[in-house]
Amino acid sequence: ETHGISFRIQISVKELLDTDVLLKLLFHLPVNYPSTLPDISVNSDQLTRTQCMDVKEKLLEQAKKHLSEPMVHDLILWVQQYLKDVIKPSATVCNEKTTLSKETEDGIWMLLLHLDHMRAKAKYVKTVEKWASNLRLTGRLMFMGKIILILLQGDRSSIKEYLMLQKTSKVDVDSSGKKCKEKMMRVLCETEVQSQHKRFQTFEVKEYSAPEELQKEFETAGLTTIFSEFVPPLLK
């Protein structure tokens, strides 16, 4: 009612070299869509970050032509037809280079979130695990007493996409058991991963019985400063 809706569409497009490019498109339609343009996020393992940004810009240009009329279907048809033209300049880049440029352009980012509560805990946890897996994010969902933290590492665009999903999806239930969006989330920290930070290899859900255990998890990952800056105020 207040945030609009978000949904993901995956499409396969024939590219210049006749290989299939899998595009993951995330659309967020604001409440007053189609009078307002949708937010669009573009991801693909076969394209560089720059190419994904080019596709996004072209899609938004197309969207402006359809303002005030439903446009998602037209945008999908357009990208299937014209993707070759949009990504032509670097379509012959080999996979190894693609991965490299993706890493160097964006770096690996880290996000620390604080959630106030989870009423439908099992379903909520499952949803967070699914999002992390789909977006190839690693890290921890941490429970310690009443404290709930989500620590994520990954491609910056995936971190931003996760944030959009977390804010706009119905992930929990309210006191009457009705599905609701997360309104009590705080972003404690969003920063580029530094050399002293260790990379998490997987995404895990963990419960800690004491603050010391939680602190140790952060210290092991080289995140002592992040812990001391953001977590102690939550323990009071």
Q: Does residue 15 belong to any structural domain of this protein?
A: yes
Same domain? 75 vs 121: no
Q: At 82, which CATH number? A: 3.10.110.10
Which of 175, 192, 195 has its CA nearest to residue 184? 175
Parallel/antiparallel/unpaired status of strands 203-208 and 138-144: parallel
Tokens representing 18 are 């006749």
pLDDT value for 71: 92
Chain segment 134-153, per-residue pLDDT in tens: 999 999 999 999 999 999 99
Chain segment 8-66, per-residue pLDDT in tens: 999 888 765 567 888 999 999 989 998 999 999 999 888 888 888 889 999 999 999 98
Domain containing 180 equals 108-234
As a whole number of angstroms, the distance between CA 126 and CA 233 comes to 28
Question: In degrees rounded to 5, what are phi and psi of residue 73?
Answer: -60, -45
Q: Does residue 99 belong to any structural domain of this protein?
A: no
Same domain? 54 vs 169: no
